[in-house]
Amino acid sequence: MVQSIEFTQIEMKVVEGLQIGNECLKKMHQVMSIEEVERILEETQEAVEYQRQIDELLAGSFTQEDEDAILEELNAITQEQIKLPEVPSEPLPTKEPEKVPIKARPKQVDLVAAS
């Protein structure tokens, strides 16, 4: 008998919770229509597309038209005759590294102590 009363009380609380939840849903549906949700989703999709375009620009990805235009410009530049400076034909002089006397080099202990 006690268990039956407790179970009935629990059932009543569950039904009461369902009623409150249902009322909340009805109020939310009044505030937010399907058209409003569709508008928000459309704006979100547009924002995602806009961000994707920005990402592509920053990442340096080009469309086929962009690549064709770039290659055309490169070909035009490389076809131009550019006067370059003369390149020396003599070999470059070699430079011997300076030899530092062993006494002038800092000791390992001095380096550790300095830091």
How does pLDDT run across 61-99, given as a tens digit for each residue? Answer: 677 888 888 889 888 888 877 777 888 888 888 887 777
In the chain, what percentage of residues exceed pLDDT 90?
24
The structure tokens 């469309």 sit at: 63
**4-21 confidence digits (pLDDT tens):** 888 899 999 999 999 999
Nearest Cα residue to 23 out of 15, 12, 34, 33: 15
Cα distances (Å, whole numbers) of residue 86 to 83, 90, 113: 9, 12, 53
User: When comparing pLDDT for 69 and 104, which is higher?
Assistant: 69
**31-45 confidence digits (pLDDT tens):** 888 888 899 999 999
Amino acid in position 77: I
Query: Residues 65, 72: contact at Cβ < 8 Å?
Result: no
Integer Cα distance of 57 and 51 in angstroms: 10
Q: Which residues contact 40 (CB under 8 A, 6 or more apart)?
A: none
